[in-house]
Structure 1
Amino acid sequence: MGAPSKMVTNRHRDGRPASIHILLRRHLGLDPSNAEEVKRRLKHFAIETAKAMAKGSPSCPEYGIDIGVDSARIPEASQTQPSVGG
């Protein structure tokens, strides 16, 4: 979870780990039905992004993908990069 007013969420930039449940329910205030829909969208987005990355760079077996959710609850990638050693 990113620090207030920051898009970057890694721990080196004041981010901290949080479960998807806490993020969606507590911080975004979603009810269970809407939280499940956002989780479904996130999963679909992650899978489609991974497929696209695999086509573009088949020699790299692992990527780190930073995915956020905008105010309309639509997933968006802010960064992708090969994993260390990948």
Structure 2
Amino acid sequence: MEQTLVVSFKTGDGKTASVRFQDVPADISEATASQFMDKLHGITDQFVKAGIQQYVTHVAAKIVQTETKDLYTNEGLAE
């Protein structure tokens, strides 16, 4: 099962911006996610789009788990 950390912030104009990080540890804690968001927030002046800061206020952090189930594959067959 693939696990992705999705962190969301409010932008300088009040919209929501999210960033996804793949392959995060299965046991990531709330405290670790919060510390990461603090560090990202600390360098927000580097993330500006059309003159608007992108990661101004912490909104949420969540883990999204994706399970992939192969229904059909043609790999390994002679052409």
Q: Do Structure 1 and Structure 2 share a fold, with TM-score over 0.5?
A: no
When you count helix as a share of all residues, which structure comes out higher?
1
When you count strand as a share of all residues, which structure comes out higher?
2
Higher relative contact order, chain-length normalized (CA < 8 Å, sep 6+): 2
Question: If the length of structure 1 is used for normalisation, what is the TM-score?
Answer: 0.28
Q: Choose 1 or 2 for highest CA Rg.
A: 2
Question: If the length of structure 2 is used for normalisation, what is the TM-score?
Answer: 0.30
